[in-house]
């Protein structure tokens, strides 16, 4: 950076709102212009709204429920048990461990997951969900309204690999993702969107 | 959300909220969510540079904070503790946005059209590019000072950094922005 493009110490004080500093000429114009640009930039920012609160508190309720379940399991408590029942239970455990030990050790699947953001422009929609090979095409995962008008978004942790998916708008027809890298025929007359997740994020088309 | 006493004389102080959440009143965490979302939303939006990713960063920061709430050493200073978690999430989202920029192209024309009424897209991009060139610390300081309009003393309390060091970061950020804007008009 050249010295010319740096503000003088006085200009820095002026930009800090020091009313004792008198700034004139080109430096004053440059400082004022910077302030105007920052004000315009700040005015166009779209700030996260109350939809964040709802999404966070839904997740917190789930976490709190699982936490209380664990607390119940881990809390010390007195248990009365008949010795005969204990002996049978121990025998069952031994048999199971013996059978498991005979099998080949399982191959560990790659546990790597990557956060992937899905988005669909659907300005007229009241409800948008997502289903795909990553959730067994079962119940729809809800998307939330973005702060960008008409845009629906959700971020999911997905394992590395290739996935197929579709959106469903207002519980009606299934819709491929117009922004997907590829579309593929599912063999039943429907077109699925394809997503390839690599270790460093979504792979390019 | 159940609790509504976010501000005002009847509002629970942060430290009391944390104590009660850890004692099992998880719903009270909503007080901190609403309180900090309103206080730091603009900061997150500017630091990330993308509204949806800023929302993702806030969401993830709140959930991480809830999960590790017991590790917050000083309950009364939970705001500064949360601010650090949020800032890290914002830096992650900004880095991810830069890596995945081509993937987000499909709705870009709509965004640009919407933004054009408010400010020139070139100027917005110039600020974005200038912010990208700053160190994370300079970016945080610049956004707190100029977008959030905080005093250096407030910034020092949140960041745990001295006023002189913060001024230096803001000054460098202004110089970088000035240079970027000069290029714009060459």
B137 & B74 share domain: no
Domain end marker among B66, B90, B114: B114
- Residue in chain A closest to B60 (alpha carbons) equals A56
Q: Tell me the nearest-neighbour CA distance from A83 into chain B, angstroms.
A: 37
Residues B106 and B33 in one domain: yes
- pLDDT of B112 reads 42
Mean pLDDT of the region A112-139:
85
Domains in chain A, CATH or no CATH each: 7-43 (no CATH), 51-102 (no CATH), 113-202 (2.60.40.10)
**% residues pLDDT > 70 (chain A):** 89
Q: How confident is the model over A150-176, as a mean pLDDT?
A: 86
Mean pLDDT is lowest, of A199-203, B12-16, B93-97, for A199-203
Q: Is the pLDDT of residue B165 over 80?
A: yes
For residue B90, which of B59, B124, B114 has the smallest C-alpha distance? B59
- Interface contact B33-A57, CB threshold 8 A: yes
Last residue of a domain, which of B50, B80, B114? B114
Give the count of domains, chain B: 2
B107 and B144 inside one domain: no
Q: Do B55 and A51 lie within an 8 Å CB cutoff?
A: yes
Name the pLDDT band for B105 (thresholds 50, 70, 90). very low
Q: pLDDT of B38-82, one tens digit each? A: 899 999 999 998 889 999 999 999 999 999 999 988 888 899 999
The rounded distance, in Å, linking the Cα atoms of B90 and B95 is: 9
* Nearest CA distance, B148 vs chain A (angstrom): 9
Closest Cα to residue B35, out of A54, A146, A144, A53? A53
Burial label for A41, CB within 10 Å (0-12, 13-18, 19+), is: buried
What is the spatial distance between Cα B109 and Cα B92, in angstroms, rounded to a whole number? Answer: 25
Whether B157 and B73 share a structural domain: no
Q: What is the model's pLDDT at position A5? A: 75
For residue A148, give the 3-state DSSP assignment: coil
Residues of A in contact with B107 (CB under 8 A): 119, 121, 148, 151, 179
More confident residue, B126 or B15: B15
Whether residues B97 and B165 fall in one domain: no
pLDDT band at A64 (very low <50, low <70, confident <90, very high): confident
User: Which pLDDT value is given to residue A15?
Assistant: 93
Same domain, B90 and B154: no
- Say which of A15, A54, A68 has its CB closest to residue B174: A15
Q: Domain range holding B147? A: 119-186
Specify whether B154 is located in the same domain as B132.
yes
Residues near A68 by beta carbon (within 8 Å), at least 6 away in sequence: B24
Q: What is the mean pLDDT of chain A?
A: 82
Q: Which of A41, A144, A176 to mutate to test the interface with B (most CBs of B within 10 A)?
A: A41
Among chain A residues, CA nearest to B170:
A12
Spatial contact of A109 and A144, defined as CB atoms under 8 Å apart:
no
Indicate whether B172 and B145 sit together in one domain: yes
Digit-coded pLDDT (tens) for A76-99: 777 788 888 889 999 998 888 887
Looking at every residue in chain B, the average pLDDT score rounds to 83
The CATH code of the domain that includes B101 is 1.10.1740.10
Tokens encoding B11:
């509002």
Q: What integer pLDDT is reported at residue B101 of this predicted model?
A: 63
Q: Is any Cβ of chain A less than 8 angstroms from the Cβ of B168?
A: no
**What confidence category does residue A136 fall into, taking pLDDT thresholds of 50, 70 and 90?**
confident
CA neighbor of B131 nearest in space, from A47, A41, A39: A41
* A199 to chain B, closest Cα gap in Å: 13
Treating both helix axes as pointing N-terminal to C-terminal, what angle do B51-67 and B29-48 enclose, rounded to 10 degrees?
Answer: 140
Domain co-membership, B82 together with B15: yes
Percent with pLDDT over 90 in chain B = 54
Q: Which of B81, B114, B147 is the last residue of a domain?
A: B114
B9 and B71 fall within a common domain? yes
When pLDDT is averaged across residues A2-23 and rounded to a whole number, the result is 84
Domain with residue B136: its CATH number is 1.10.10.10
Q: Do B106 and B135 lie in a common domain?
A: no
A6, A56, A148 member nearest B111 (Cβ): A148
CB contact under 8 A, B55 and A52: yes
- B84 with B21, same domain: the answer is yes
Q: What is the pLDDT of residue B102?
A: 52
Query: ipTM, 2 decimals?
Result: 0.79
């Amino acid at each position: 950076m050249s010295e010319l493009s740096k503000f003088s110490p006085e200009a820095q004080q002026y930009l800090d709102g020091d009313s004792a500093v008198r700034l004139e000429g080109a430096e004053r114009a440059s400082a004022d212009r910077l302030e105007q640009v920052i004000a315009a930039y700040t005015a166009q920012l779209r700030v996260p709204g109350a939809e964040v609160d709802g999404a966070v508190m839904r997740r917190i309720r789930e976490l709190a429920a699982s936490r209380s379940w664990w607390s119940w399991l881990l809390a010390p408590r007195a248990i009365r048990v008949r010795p005969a029942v204990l002996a049978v239970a121990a025998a069952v455990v031994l048999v199971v461990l013996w059978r498991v030990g005979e099998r080949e050790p399982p191959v560990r699947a790659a546990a790597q997951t990557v956060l992937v953001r899905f988005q669909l422009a659907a300005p007229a929609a009241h409800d948008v969900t997502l289903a795909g090979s990553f959730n067994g095409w079962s119940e729809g995962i809800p998307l939330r309204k973005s702060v960008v008008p008409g845009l629906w978004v959700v971020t999911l942790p997905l394992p590395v690999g290739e996935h197929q998916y579709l959106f469903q708008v207002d519980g009606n027809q299934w819709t491929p993702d117009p922004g997907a890298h590829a579309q593929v025929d599912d063999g039943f007359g429907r077109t699925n969107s394809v997503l390839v997740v690599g270790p460093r994020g979504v792979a390019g088309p | 959300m159940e609790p509504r006493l976010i501000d005002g004389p009847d509002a629970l102080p942060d430290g009391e909220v944390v104590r009660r959440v850890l004692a099992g009143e998880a719903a009270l965490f909503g007080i901190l969510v609403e309180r900090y979302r309103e206080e730091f939303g603009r900061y997150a939006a500017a630091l990330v540079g993308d509204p949806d990713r800023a929302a993702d960063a806030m969401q993830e920061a709140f959930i991480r904070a809830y999960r590790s709430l017991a590790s917050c050493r000083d309950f009364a200073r939970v705001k500064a503790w949360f601010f650090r978690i949020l800032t890290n999430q914002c830096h992650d989202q900004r880095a991810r946005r830069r890596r995945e920029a081509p993937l987000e192209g499909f709705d870009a024309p709509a965004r640009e059209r919407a933004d054009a009424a408010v400010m020139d897209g070139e100027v917005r991009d110039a600020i974005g590019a200038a912010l990208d060139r700053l160190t994370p610390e300079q970016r945080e300081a610049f956004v707190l000072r100029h977008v959030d309009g905080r005093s250096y003393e407030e910034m020092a309390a949140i960041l745990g950094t001295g006023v002189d060091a913060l001024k230096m970061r803001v000054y460098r950020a202004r110089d970088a922005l000035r240079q970027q804007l000069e290029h714009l008009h060459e």
